[in-house]
C-alpha cells in the first residue's frame, strides 16, 4: 500500500524541506544530523503486506481543528478516510471539539427531504443573501467529512477572518470559512457556509457564498477590507469546476434563489458530495435550471 501525501495536503512539505528550515549557518555536520533526523521521522512508502508503518506527514498548519484526508492506494483499490483532529495547543485553549466544527440544529427543527424536486423547492426558499447583502450562491449537500475532503484535495483550508465574521445568515455568523490558497500565498477565493435547517436523505445541507475579494490574487495578503468582487458568478463557476476535479462530487444542479445583481444571474450551484473517489464522468447533472452564460 502507498500513502498518497498530496491527498492529505497538495502543498505538503518533504522532510528535507522541514530540516532546511532548522539549519544553522555554517552548520556542517550539525545540519547533516538535522537532515538525517527529519528524514527518519518522515513516513516511508510502501507498506509491505503484513507489516505496519508509522511516520510523520508535514502539512500546512490549521487553527482549532485539522481536517486530515488519508488516501491509501493498493493494487486496484483505494482506502480513503477523513479524520477531524484538534490542534493540541489551540484546541485545548478554546475547548474545541469535532462537534463544534459546524452548527447543529435540534432534530425537531430539521426538515428531511427524500425527493430531489421537493429539495430544489426548499433550497429556492432559503435566504438569497446575507443580512449584509452578500449573495448566497452555493448549496452543498453531504457529510462534512466528504465535503471537507473534496476541498482539501483542491487546496481549500479553513481560514476565517474578521470580515467573514461580520456576515450573518439565520441570525449567526458563518459556521465554516475556507479559502483557496493561491500560488502567491494570497487566499484568492473564499467560501462561507451556514448549516441550513434542511437535510436530504439524512445528509446535511449548507447554504453559502463563494466569492473573490476585489483585486483577487493581487489583493494584499493582509487586507482586512475584504469586499467581494462584483462578478460572483465567475467565482461560483470556478468553484464548481474545482469540485468536479476533487473526486468527491456526485451530483450538480443549479437552482434559483441567490440574490441577483448587475453581474449575477441569481442562480445558486447545488453540489452533492459522496465519499471519494469519483471521476468527472461520474458526476450526474441535474436538469433543474440550465446555466447559460454568453
Model confidence pLDDT, tens digit, residues 111-129 = 999 999 999 999 999 999 9
- Is 74 contained in some domain? yes
Please give the residue that has the higher pLDDT: either 280 or 130. Answer: 130
Q: What is the pLDDT of residues 168-203, one digit of tens each?
A: 999 999 999 998 876 555 557 899 999 999 999 999
Per-residue pLDDT at 279: 85
Say if residue 253's pLDDT is above 90: yes
The per-residue pLDDT of the chain, averaged, comes to 86
pLDDT value of position 163 = 87
pLDDT-derived band at 82, boundaries 50, 70, 90 = confident
Query: Which domain-ending residue is among 70, 94, 118?
Result: 94
Report whether pLDDT(74) > 80: yes
C-alpha–C-alpha distance, residues 67 and 21, integer Å: 25
- The answer, yes or no, to whether residue 153 has pLDDT greater than 90, is no
Please, are residues 208 and 193 in contact by the beta-carbon 8 Å criterion? yes
Are residues 258 and 129 both part of a single domain? yes
> Looking at the structure, do residues 188 and 44 belong to the same domain, yes or no?
no
In a domain, 41, yes or no: yes
Least confidently predicted of 53-67, 188-202, 263-277: 53-67
Residue-number span of the structural domain to which 247 is assigned: 102-285
Does a structural domain hold residue 290?
no
- Residues 51 and 128 occupy one common structural domain: no
Phi, psi of 116 (to 5 degrees): -65, -35
In b/e form, how buried is each residue of 152-161, taking b as 16+ CB within 10 angstroms?
bbbbbbbbbe
The alpha-helical segments, DSSP class H, found in the chain are 5-8, 15-21, 29-41, 88-94, 116-124, 144-153, 162-165, 232-244
pLDDT at residue 185 in the model? 58
Q: Any idea which of 11-25, 77-91, 101-115 has the lowest mean pLDDT?
A: 77-91
Name the domain boundary from 77, 94, 111: 94
Q: How many residues does this entry show for the chain? A: 294
Please answer whether residues 82 and 68 qualify as being in contact, where contact means their C-beta atoms are separated by less than 8 angstroms.
Answer: yes
pLDDT of amino acid 276: 79
Amino acid at each position: 500500500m502507498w500513502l498518497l501525501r498530496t491527498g492529505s495536503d497538495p502543498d505538503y512539505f518533504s522532510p528535507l524541506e522541514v530540516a532546511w528550515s532548522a539549519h544553522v549557518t555554517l552548520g556542517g555536520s550539525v545540519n547533516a544530523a538535522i537532515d538525517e533526523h527529519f528524514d527518519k521521522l518522515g513516513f516511508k512508502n510502501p507498506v509491505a503486506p503484513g507489516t505496519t508503518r508509522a511516520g510523520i506527514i508535514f502539512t500546512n498548519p490549521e487553527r482549532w481543528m485539522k481536517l486530515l484526508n488519508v488516501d491509501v492506494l493498493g493494487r486496484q483499490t483505494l482506502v480513503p478516510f477523513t479524520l477531524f483532529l484538534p490542534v493540541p495547543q489551540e484546541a485545548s485553549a478554546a475547548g474545541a471539539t469535532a462537534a463544534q466544527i459546524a452548527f447543529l440544529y435540534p432534530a425537531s427543527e430539521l426538515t428531511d427531504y427524500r425527493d430531489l424536486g421537493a429539495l430544489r423547492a426548499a433550497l429556492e426558499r432559503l435566504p438569497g443573501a446575507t443580512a449584509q447583502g452578500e449573495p448566497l450562491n452555493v448549496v452543498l449537500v453531504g457529510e462534512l467529512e466528504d465535503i471537507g475532503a473534496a476541498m482539501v484535495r483542491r487546496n481549500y483550508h479553513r481560514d476565517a477572518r474578521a470580515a467573514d465574521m461580520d456576515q450573518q445568515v439565520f441570525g449567526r455568523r458563518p459556521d465554516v470559512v475556507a479559502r483557496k490558497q493561491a500560488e502567491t500565498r494570497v487566499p484568492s477565493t473564499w467560501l462561507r457556509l451556514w448549516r441550513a435547517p434542511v437535510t436530504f436523505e439524512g445528509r446535511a445541507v449548507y447554504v453559502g457564498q463563494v466569492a473573490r475579494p476585489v483585486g483577487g490574487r493581487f489583493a494584499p495578503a493582509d487586507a482586512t477590507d475584504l469586499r467581494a468582487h462584483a462578478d460572483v458568478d465567475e467565482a461560483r463557476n470556478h468553484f464548481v469546476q474545482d469540485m468536479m476535479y476533487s473526486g468527491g462530487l456526485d451530483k450538480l444542479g443549479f437552482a434559483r434563489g441567490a440574490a441577483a445583481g448587475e453581474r449575477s444571474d441569481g442562480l445558486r450551484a447545488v453540489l452533492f458530495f459522496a465519499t471519494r473517489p469519483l471521476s468527472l464522468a461520474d458526476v450526474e447533472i441535474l436538469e433543474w435550471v440550465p446555466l447559460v452564460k454568453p
